[in-house]
Structure 1
Amino acid sequence: MRIGLLGTGPWAERVHAPVLAEHPGIEFVGVWGRRPAAAESLAEAHGVHAYPDVDALLADVDAVSIALPPGVQPDLAVRAAEAGCHLLLDKPVALTVPDARRLAAAVARHEVASVVFFTVRFGGEQGPWLEKQAAVGGWFTGRSDWLGSVFAPGSSSPYAASPWREEKGALWDVGPHALSVLLPVLGDATLVTAAAGPRDTVHLVLRHEGGASSTLALSLTAPVEAGGTGMELRGSAGVVHLPERGEGPVRALHRAVDALLDSARTGTPHPCDAAFGLRVVEILAGAEQSLATGGPVDVR
């Protein structure tokens, strides 16, 4: 599979480009970015071509890996799908339901494979663990905490210079991760209630279609000393915790590329496809509405 990279920021430079260059099942063809000089620099670092025109890149590849802000991603992803390219997408797939719906519809209409890179879902221990808990069933409640420190005093995060993260906050940045681990185990959400915490911190309460409930604590402004992630499930099987991540996103992205290759080869949609990405956006939009209205929002 010939693949191109759309994006030149820290996520593209630190994760996407090295994986595309190293993965044995693909041929890394080139880079396009909104900053031509950055695209040329990143392409030169990996011995590939920098494309000044995105349509020229789409014409030369079978798939694209997108490392762009979620406000920019939908239009380019739809364009790529229309060109017959398979899609390795970033989360959230969009910042509005109409944009996410348009993207998912393009994937279905043009019959291309899609995988959304929820990092924990492609973790070496975490992915199999989630599948096991979904098979166990009988869960009464769960919680997922994603307390980051990107914008906290003393933070040295390379993602602090991210206008969309600063504007949309934890709900839209780490909220997709929290939902990506709860939904496959507890079932789809039917009702969401959101409450604001300190700074950009948001707390969500979800009702799931099987009757279980869950809570989410999300932040990008937690003190560095208080940051961390975790997931707990409680039910008839007892109390279990998501294994801690012992590897970085590079290994996880290798598995996401494997998943895209498999989906493209078999024609079988992956559980983390554009349709699932749309569902996550719908729930996040419901939470945003709940913050504005102060009450629960039906997200069925």
Structure 2
Amino acid sequence: MTRLRVGLIGTGPWATQTHAPVLAAHPDATLSGIWGRRPQTAADLANAHATTAYEDLDELFAASDAIAFAVPPDVQAPLAERAAAAGRHLLLDKPIATSPEAARTLAAAVAKAGVASVVFFTLRFAPPMAAWLADRSQEGPWFTARADWYSSFFAADGTGAFDSPWRADKGGLWDVGPHALSVLTAVLGEVTAVTAAPGPEDAVHLVLRHESGASSTATLTLRAPAAAEGLVLEFRGEQGTATPPGWGESGWGDSTDAFRSAVAALAQAAGGGKQHPCDVHFGLRVTDVLTEAERQVAARRASELPARSSAQAP
């Protein structure tokens, strides 16, 4: 199979630590060039991986068969739409956008162009987790499930890891919410209904119904106290309770191995092979669920304001 020429958009930590090194060494791909909003940073990253830095996006598109993205979601969506219109396959980051309009426009552009798409939901591509989820999806029926992400990226006593403006603004719902939805839907099927309630700080509690008839819950935050950090993933059904052995330890979500698998999935799809379930249309469905949850949380927080004001009045 001809190696897929993949251009990279982005020069931040993900691009530097994961995307560029994997693409430069992948057996199914060639890193055809890099474009970034900071030209000198793009040039430095390109030099480190023996490729070309482009200041013109159209030139990057011309040198590539596919484009990988490592930029914030609302920067990604319009650039990916341009890449699809140019006939380039897409390796997108999650979430694909933070508005349903932008996500729907991107999905329509992909469909119109007839290009392949893969969205990099890390856990769906990390080999151990992908295999574990596939096994659980074959067992069933499942009664309920739980997926909680307690992270402290922005807590006062946290590390500030992956500190970025869009994460600080959108919170755990949009950053770790896609991870929770990706693993829950892999086993229980698509989300048919969502109920969302706010917790402290950016915490959001979700109750989900799935097309299989099962229900699930998720708690999502980037501002948990550092001592309260942790991940929970479990499925419950007639066969008992299933949790990945050693869940939360290194390996289950290794980004390098996962991205390597995502590149292979895109190469296969671009070559006319099997399309991965985590495509742009799945990305759109995730955006729709998160948008509805965000709407409900905002409405509930707004309804609490008068009560809080009254309680604080002298």
TM-score of the superposed pair, with normalisation by structure 2: 0.90
Deviation at 1:224, TM superposition (A): 1.8
Deviation at 1:202, TM superposition (A): 0.8
Find out whether 1:28 has 2:31 as its counterpart: yes
Question: Which stretch shows the higher mean deviation, 263-272 or 247-256?
Answer: 263-272
Deviation at 1:242, TM superposition (A): 2.9
Deviation at 1:226, TM superposition (A): 1.7
Give the alignment partner of residue 283 of structure 1, picking from 284, 289, 294. 289
For residues 177 and 288 of structure 2, the distance between their equivalents in structure 1, rounded to whole angstroms, comes to: 12
Give the alignment partner of residue 170 of structure 1, picking from 164, 169, 172. 172
For residues 28 and 187 of structure 1, the distance between their equivalents in structure 2, rounded to whole angstroms, comes to: 35
Give the alignment partner of residue 206 of structure 1, picking from 201, 205, 208. 208
Deviation at 1:267, TM superposition (A): 4.5
Aligned amino acid, residue 296 of structure 2: S
Percent of counterpart pairs with the same letter? 54
- For residue 125 of structure 1, give the secondary structure of its aligned residue in structure 2: helix
Deviation at 1:189, TM superposition (A): 1.3
State the partner residue of 1:260: 266
State the partner residue of 1:298: none
Question: Which stretch shows the higher mean deviation, 207-216 or 138-147?
Answer: 207-216
Q: What 5-or-longer segments of structure 2 have no aligned partner?
A: 302-314
Question: Which stretch shows the higher mean deviation, 286-295 or 38-47?
Answer: 286-295
For residues 242 and 99 of structure 1, the distance between their equivalents in structure 2, rounded to whole angstroms, comes to: 35
For residues 290 and 140 of structure 1, the distance between their equivalents in structure 2, rounded to whole angstroms, comes to: 25
For residues 291 and 273 of structure 2, the distance between their equivalents in structure 1, rounded to whole angstroms, comes to: 30
Q: Is the 8 A contact 1:230 1:242 kept in 2?
A: no
Question: Which stretch shows the higher mean deviation, 260-269 or 59-68?
Answer: 260-269
Pairwise CA RMSD of aligned residues? Answer: 1.4
State the partner residue of 2:308: none
Q: Is the 8 A contact 2:125 2:259 kept in 1?
A: yes
For residues 254 and 49 of structure 1, the distance between their equivalents in structure 2, rounded to whole angstroms, comes to: 21
Aligned amino acid, residue 179 of structure 1: L
For residues 17 and 227 of structure 2, the distance between their equivalents in structure 1, rounded to whole angstroms, comes to: 25
Find out whether 1:235 has 2:237 as its counterpart: yes
State the partner residue of 2:109: 106
Deviation at 1:11, TM superposition (A): 1.1
- For residue 49 of structure 1, give the secondary structure of its aligned residue in structure 2: coil
State the partner residue of 2:305: none
State the partner residue of 1:89: 92
- For residue 270 of structure 2, give the secondary structure of its aligned residue in structure 1: helix
Give the alignment partner of residue 71 of structure 2, picking from 68, 82, 90. 68
Point out the structure with max Rg over C-alpha.
Answer: 2
